[in-house]
Each structure stands twice: as C-alpha cells, then as structure tokens.
Amino acid sequence: MTDTLYILGNGFDLHHGLKTSYLNFRDDYIKKRNPQIWNNLLDIYGDAPKQDDFWWKDFENMLGKVDYAHLEEDYYKLGLAPSRVQNLLKNQLPPLFGYWINGIDTNVKMDESLGINRDSMFFTFNYTLILEKTYKVPDNHIWHIHGSVINSDDIVVGHGLDERELFRDFIEHKKSHHISRTNIADYVRQMTAKGAKGVRSRILKHEDDFYHLYANIIHFIAMGFSFNDIDIPYIEKIISANRNISETDWMVYWHEDGEKESLKNKIKQLGVKEENIILQKW
C-alpha cells in the first residue's frame, strides 16, 4: 500500500487550464444559458451575485447568506420565498452544476514538472477526470469525495452552514434590515439549511474508509486546495485516522500572493509541525 496521499482542490484543474472556477460557472453558463436561475439567484441573494466577484469566488459559503430583506420585499406577500430557496438549492443548482462540469473540455496535457506518482492515493474535491484520463491514475486510487462527471446527477454542491450558524447570520442580518415576517424567515432558513453539503454526515457514512485508506500515509501533497472552512473537516478526519501523524510531512502548493503564509498557518492548526511543512509555488 502506498504511503503518499495527494489532496486536490479546484486549483489543480485551474493549473491545467480548465475553466472550472465559479466565475466561469457564472459567466459561461448561468448568465448566458440559464436566465431563470440567474434571476432566482438575484431574488434570493440580492444584488451581490451581480456586482461582487468575491461572492462567486466564495460561492459555496455565499449560498448560505440569504438576503432575507430582499426576499421579503419581493416575494413574502406571495408566499413564494421558502419554495424558491428550496427549489434553487436542492432542485436547480446541483444538476445544473453537474451539466456544466460535464461539458468542460478536459483534453489537457500532463504537467510532468509536478512529478505525480500514479501509484499514490488521491483524495480530490474535483469533479473532472484529469487524474484518470491525463495522468492514468487507476480508479481505485482516487476518491472523488463530492462525486464526479461519471455520474453528474449525483454531484454534491452546497454551503457549509448548519441551522445554528444560519440563525446567527439571520440575527445579524436583521440588525441592519427591517424584516417584519420573521415566521416566513424561519421557514426560509429551514429551506436554506437543506442546501448544505452535509460534510459531517458524509464523513460519518464513510468513517471506516478513512481509517482503511489513510491510516499509514506518511507523505501528504496538497495541490490547489485552499483548506477552506467547509471542507476542512475532511482533512481533520484524514489526520485523525492516521497512525503516524507526528512523522508525516506535507508539501503544499500555493499560487496567489498572501496564500503561502495562510496555508502554512491552517496546516499548523491541524496539528502538523511547522518543520514538517514544505511550501511550493506553482
């Protein structure tokens, strides 16, 4: 069994020239081809999706940030706000996201400078099949934790907030916005909660797999993964399943200015010694 695990985020696909950012999702797919869903986004989240690129860069977190005041202004009198939120998060976005990903051209060249060992294990948050098609990694070495284009109908996309966090955000929103129909706002919040990724439940469902696959990993290589708050519980589980965590080393690739120190600090917070962390720019 290999002692090396690659942890891959969307930056890995972007590094290979794929247009898989959420900004691409907005510009190339939603706005051009799905005006109804675009309008639903503006109804539920106000003007932020239209005006703020950062909203899309942090898309999954933003899906939990419903603009209650805007919903009340436009839809509460019709009683449609809760159903619109539920329909968007559960019935519209996940399959649309799957169709979009499935249509992206993934005919790319291998980056030999990365020195990827196809006999290693791979834990990937990406939906594309670059590992399988370009790097010829065996299927049984790859775990697409949120699904892949092999079955685009089952792709997982959503926010990472639970009902307690959603309630806290609602209270903060209410301080600066007039919201009169709090009973409907409660219902909206319940519908928003159903649009969560379900990271914790997914970990519990596959708990035995984490121990079976990753107990003896010594070398960790993270490429294009931001260690964001939504997905960090997976990394915490991988670490807790590992028998040799004090002996492990971590090579972490970074790209944007300011990212280097941020990534190092996040990994240190996971219990990894600083001297065991190597930061590599790509």
Residue 270 has pLDDT above 60, yes or no: yes
- Determine the pLDDT at residue 204: 96
Measure Cα distances from 145 to 7, 28, 69, 235, 246 in Å: 11, 25, 35, 12, 25
- Determine the pLDDT at residue 75: 63
Output the furthest CA–CA distance in the chain (Å, rounded): 61
Per residue in 193-240, pLDDT tens? Answer: 999 999 999 999 999 999 999 999 999 999 999 999 999 999 999 999
Instruction: Give bridge partners of residue 7 from the DSSP assignment.
Output: 123, 222
Q: Please count the helices (runs of H) and the strands (runs of E) in the chain.
A: 17, 6
| Best CA proximity match to 67, nearest among 170, 196, 180, 162 | 170
Residue 78 has pLDDT above 60, yes or no: no
Q: How far apart are CA 179 and CA 186, in angstroms?
A: 11
Q: How far apart are CA 137 and CA 119, in angstroms?
A: 7
Per residue in 95-134, pLDDT tens? Answer: 999 999 999 999 999 999 999 999 999 999 999 999 999 9
Q: How many residues does the chain have?
A: 282
- Determine the pLDDT at residue 76: 60
